[in-house]
Amino acid sequence: MTKPKLATCSLAGCFGCHMSLLDIDERIVELVDLVDLDKSPFDDKKEFDGPVDIGLVEGGCANEHNVHVLKQFRQHCRILVSVGACAITGGIPAMRNMVGLRECLEEAYLRGPTVEDGGLIPNDEDLPLLLDRVYPSHEIVKIDYFLPGCPPSADAIWAALKALLSGEAPNLPYPLLKYE
């Protein structure tokens, strides 16, 4: 019997949700028994080659590449889960929405106290276009479940995964959802 497939990505996040997934510690062995890891930063599978059962999305969308990856995930994943504050609300990176993109670029690349010769704002065609704002994932694609926290605890991620793998909607008790 083939195992369900799990894919993960980190968009405009800090990778902390992926670290929290690793915090399931020795349960990783059980996870590997339950699922096959598909496209993920933890392996070298760079593109989808078929449908995936569960996709975990960390981070919101701050540039066109994030949008591209998120749409790919929606296209290939039967169940898509927004994991953590950045995927759900834009999180800390969305603080730039209050300020404006140009201001942020100028502060970092023109005005910094160690910037040499007045600096410049990177603008090469090899850099993906930045979005005007940082967007939560559900404003770009349909999201099936939301797992809050910064990051959600390993126990919360584990409980949600176990429920989804048993074909149930995750219904996590409050202690696993509260934002401490």
**How would you class 77 by CB atoms within 10 Å of its CB: exposed for 0-12, middle for 13-18, buried for 19 or more?**
buried
Beta bridge mates, 81: 56, 145
CB of 168 to other proteins, least distance (A): 25
CB of 169 to other proteins, least distance (A): 26
8 A C-beta contact, residue 52 and residue 21: no
DSSP at 146: E
Taking the least distance from each CB to other proteins, the nearer of 133 and 162 is 133
Structure tokens at 122: 């990177």
**Is 95 one of the binding residues for other proteins (CB under 8 A)?**
yes
**Is 175 one of the binding residues for other proteins (CB under 8 A)?**
no
Interface pick for other proteins out of 71, 122, 169, 175 (rule CB under 8 A): 122
Q: Give residues 71-90 in contact with other proteins (rule: CB under 8 A).
A: none
Structure tokens at 105: 């670029």
Interface pick for other proteins out of 37, 79, 163, 165 (rule CB under 8 A): 37
**Is 17 one of the binding residues for other proteins (CB under 8 A)?**
yes
Residue from 53, 61, 43, 41 nearest 80 by CA:
53
Measured in degrees and rounded to the nearest 5, phi and psi for residue 133 equal -130, 165
**Is 113 one of the binding residues for other proteins (CB under 8 A)?**
yes
8 A C-beta contact, residue 74 and residue 141: yes
**Is 33 one of the binding residues for other proteins (CB under 8 A)?**
no
**Is 112 one of the binding residues for other proteins (CB under 8 A)?**
yes
Which part of the chain contacts other proteins (CB under 8 A), choosing from 18-26, 75-83, 161-169, 171-179? 18-26
CA distance 70 to 43: 18
Number of residues that bind other proteins (CB under 8 A): 71
Longest dimension (CA), the chain: 62
Taking the least distance from each CB to other proteins, the nearer of 49 and 168 is 49
**Is 16 one of the binding residues for other proteins (CB under 8 A)?**
yes
